[in-house]
Amino acid sequence: MADQLSLDARTLVGIANDESCDGGAVTRFHFEQDGDRTLRR
């Protein structure tokens, strides 16, 4: 799958939140990818 989709240097933002979660519109997820390994920072 790493050949099809890369999350490297991408920032994802949630658009909806479950009532039990602490995230919100200001929550950002920053990713780094090296081959098949993806790290969220």
Residue 24 to residue 22: CA distance in whole angstroms: 7
- Residue 31, class by beta-carbon neighbours within 10 Å (0-12 exposed, 13-18 middle, 19+ buried)? middle
Is residue 26 one of the residues assigned to a domain? yes
- Determine the structural domain holding residue 36 and report its residue range: 11-40
Is residue 16 one of the residues assigned to a domain? yes
Is residue 18 one of the residues assigned to a domain? yes
Among residues 24, 23, 29, the alpha carbon closest in space to that of 41 is found at 29
Domain count, the chain: 1
- Residue 3: what pLDDT? 58
Give the model confidence (pLDDT) of 1-41 as tens digits: 445 788 888 888 877 666 777 777 778 888 888 888 888 87
